[in-house]
Amino acid sequence: MQSQLSRSTNRSKMMPEFTGNWHQHKEKPRILVKCGGFSSQLARNVNEKVDGDPLWGSRFDATQPDAVIQTHLDFLRKGADIILTNTYQSSVEGFMKHLGKTREESIALIAKSVELARQARTKYLSEVAANNGDIGPDMPWILASIGPYGAHLHDGSEYTGSYANLVNFSQLQAWHKPRIDTCLSAGIDGLAVETLPCQLEALAVTDLLLTCYCTPRFWVSFQCKDSSSLAHGESFAEAALAVWNMVVKHKAQSRLLGIGVNCVNPNYVTPLLKSLLAKLPHGVTVPLVVYSNRGEIYDSDRGEWTGNGLNVASFVPEWLRLGARIIGGCCRVYPDDIYEIRQTIEDIAQQPQSPIQTSLVM
């Protein structure tokens, strides 16, 4: 652990403020490394099956909190700048149905997920300090995982977006709000609105964040079925641009951490990002976030992943060239993969005339 921790301490003492246009800054853009697939790693730390559970990893906030803390630490110790709370599949309805909790207990369990991430960060920072590190209290970030409406249905619809035909804009906002309120009250650094399979939900949540909350930073990340389309079938480029235009309309670019994709085949990422970049007006730069899976396919009937995985780190150089500023992993991307992603980014940053940097001391 000594070498892993000391490598991590090369990161920033304090976080620079994110803005919607990276070229407004004279310094090279800062690249942040997100953790990998939380539930994939959690499955290595518990003695129960995670995939296929109606609550997925969220169940273990209640039943095995030490394993949740350990999973966060696994990624932090390998160099993650950002960890996500174990709330992707958390919902009041889900906890009431599958754990027998009351509404109040369900909300408390969502808050507990944030607290577990905070405990992991505190322990990690203590380890860094014990190894003479200089990472400051603003690092690493904890973002609340705000998974899609379809995740709590436990029918695989987060990979199809089929529920977009069954719920409307305001219903989606009403469903998302309790989890967002709870995570913000519990104390987080931002929101990771992720794995959204349809444009309707992306616009509903973005509008909610821009109209009901004044300060939280956030990113919006889509689930895509191929190299051009959302899982529900809409154009990724059009959906991403619609989110960007909504952010610009509200003059909230400084709050936007990124727009991008997650839990997609890494082979799809480059064409997806290129399709968005081609739609942008000349001179406009949108911060991009990418955290793919390994290219395997989740079989919802069998409750497991199938196919052969790819080396996600090998795609990182091209994602950086396209302007990705937050890069990590999703399902089946483990701590060792995150270490390789971080090492790849650092190696590129050390090259002469590199357009990026991995640390910024303020």
What is the residue-wise DSSP string for 174-186?
Answer: HHHHHHHHHHHHH
The stretch 85-112 carries a mean pLDDT of 97
Helix (H, G, I), strand (E, B) or coil at 209: helix
For residue 157, the model assigns a pLDDT of 87
Q: Encoding tokens for residue 51? A: 């995939």
How many Å apart are CA 220 and CA 282, to the nearest integer?
22
Q: What is the mean pLDDT of the chain?
A: 89
pLDDT per residue as tens digits for the range 246-286: 999 999 999 999 999 999 999 999 999 999 999 999 999 99
pLDDT per residue as tens digits for the range 330-347: 999 999 999 999 999 999
Q: At what angle do helices 103-130 and 65-76 cross, to 10 degrees?
A: 40
- The response to whether 183 counts as a known ligand-binding position is no
Write down the H helix ranges in the chain: 2-8, 38-45, 59-63, 65-76, 92-99, 103-130, 169-186, 199-212, 236-249, 266-279, 316-322, 335-349
Query: Per residue in 44-61, is it b (16+ CB within 10 Å) or e — as a string?
Result: ebbeeebbebbbbbbbbb
For residue 351, the model assigns a pLDDT of 86
Residue 295 lies in a domain: yes
Q: Encoding tokens for residue 297? A: 């396919």
How many Å apart are CA 18 and CA 36, to the nearest integer?
22
The CATH number of the domain holding residue 213 is 3.20.20.330
- The response to whether 330 counts as a known ligand-binding position is yes
Enclosing domain of residue 162: 32-350
**Total of domains in the chain:** 1
Model pTM?
0.90
pLDDT per residue as tens digits for the range 187-226: 999 999 999 999 999 999 999 999 999 999 999 999 999 9
Residue 15 lies in a domain: no
Which residues lie across from 229 on neighbouring strands? 235
How many Å apart are CA 42 and CA 59, to the nearest integer?
11
Residue 19 lies in a domain: no
Residue 361 lies in a domain: no
How many Å apart are CA 90 and CA 107, to the nearest integer?
9
Residue 106 lies in a domain: yes
For residue 135, the model assigns a pLDDT of 67
Whether the link from the prior residue into 140 is cis, omega within 30° of 0, is yes
The stretch 127-141 carries a mean pLDDT of 80
Q: Is the pLDDT of residue 7 over 50?
A: no
Residue 54 lies in a domain: yes
- The response to whether 331 counts as a known ligand-binding position is yes
For residue 156, the model assigns a pLDDT of 83
Is the Cβ–Cβ distance between 307 and 295 less than 8 Å? yes
Contacts of 153 (CB under 8 A, 6+ apart): 163
Residue 346 lies in a domain: yes
For residue 26, the model assigns a pLDDT of 44
Vertex 263 angle, CA 259 and 267, to 5°: 90
How many Å apart are CA 31 and CA 138, to the nearest integer?
16
Confidence of residue 358 (pLDDT cuts 50, 70, 90): low
Q: Is the pLDDT of residue 181 over 90?
A: yes
Residue 192 lies in a domain: yes
For residue 103, the model assigns a pLDDT of 97
